[in-house]
Amino acid sequence: MSLNAERSYKMKLRDVENAFKYRRIPYPKRSVELIALLAISCTFFLFMHTNKLNSRLKEMEVKLQPSEFSALGLTGNHISGHDAGKHDDINTLHGTYNYLKSTGQLWRLNPKFLNNTRFHTRNILFFNRVPKTGSETLIELMVRLGEKNGFQNERAPFSKPIGMYWPMERQKQEVTRIMDLQSNYAFVYVEHMNYMNIRPFHYPQPIYINMIRDPVERVISWFYHVRTPWNSLNMYEITGSFHNRTFYVKSFEECVLTHDPECRYNYGLNYKEDPGDHKRQSLFFCGHSPICEPFNTPGAIARAKQNVERDYSVIGSWEDVNVTLSVLEEYIPRFFKGATELYYEPIKGLAFKKENTNHWKPKISERIKQIIRANFSQEYDFYYFCKQRLYRQYFAINRHLHF
């Protein structure tokens, strides 16, 4: 092949390559419309899916709402259930200490970030006490501390019904009434009522405290408390009548084994119509919302935990006397300075332990307790959550402790 012929062949080959490289392939009009429709559909689907996901995330944020407490990595959910058996009885003071130490969290505890007292804007302490948790003992202690530390004490009368399931208007009336009681002095208010969030009413943020107790032991205590002579006389003055004889001779064990409505603890059961609903202490931390009404449900417990972490300075327990008194003194010194010394005062101190003891309550067998504990799973989760929170507050101010 000659040189010119070879050059001509290469030019033709290049033209063919360019033709394929830059060719325009015509598409039918309907195909273009189909592709555009698919693109729009995909975009709309992604938008709807993202919007739904965003809504779900917001719901979870409301339910969980992590705070400085959960940021430390130790909450009731994190170390309950199957994990509890791995850490030397995690729900005890000793077990919680070992867990925090083994996971490296002990040295990160900081009293500043474990104390909601710093968020209060006025010296008002609000104790919405849970029945049968030793609240009378704490009230008496605060009365005597008021004389030493210069603050006033007010409490609702015995005749006032326990505050449950109030609508927003009623809550506003109660908050206004309580706030109007305060003069220029530091002030404590005590009443059996569900937690109230006062932020929507634009009042100063008070210091919230409360007490807790083993859920089953508390239920048993309430059962026999309402059958004591002194409580019956008090109720007679209010209602003008007594219960029948069957009510007073009924035993707790009989009540449980015969599935008596008074001792029935069914998951999700709504006790809203029961004015003596003392089957769960979480209700006093959950509030007045409909989510709080069903018994032993995750939603009610999640709301109660959220309120505790956000607003309560201290939730103590007489099951851990020294821990509770130490934390109250350290985290709320304006009201509880000298609490431990006064509690153990040789003459007056003994009265705290004896004045509210119910000698009419018999010993209940462990078998009966085990039967009903199974129905208090969520209540125990909340109970241990509060206890572990108390222990963390204690370790934050006592890091030198060694077990």
- Least Cα distance to 285 among 364, 389, 372, 148 occurs for 389
Rounded CA-CA distance 115/327 in Å is 10
Contact 218, 319 (CB under 8 A): no
Tokens of 182: 């305060």
Residue tagged active-site, from 120, 192, 278, 288: 192
Backbone angles phi, psi at 358, to 5 degrees: -100, 100
Tokens of 9: 């062949």
> DSSP class of residue 46?
H
Tokens of 270: 């709504």
Q: What is the CA radius of gyration of the chain?
A: 32
Concerning whether 87 is annotated as a catalytic residue, the answer is no
Rounded CA-CA distance 18/26 in Å is 17
To the nearest 10°, the Cα dihedral for 117, 118, 123, 124? -40
- Least Cα distance to 133 among 253, 43, 42, 219 occurs for 219
Q: Which residues are catalytic?
A: 192
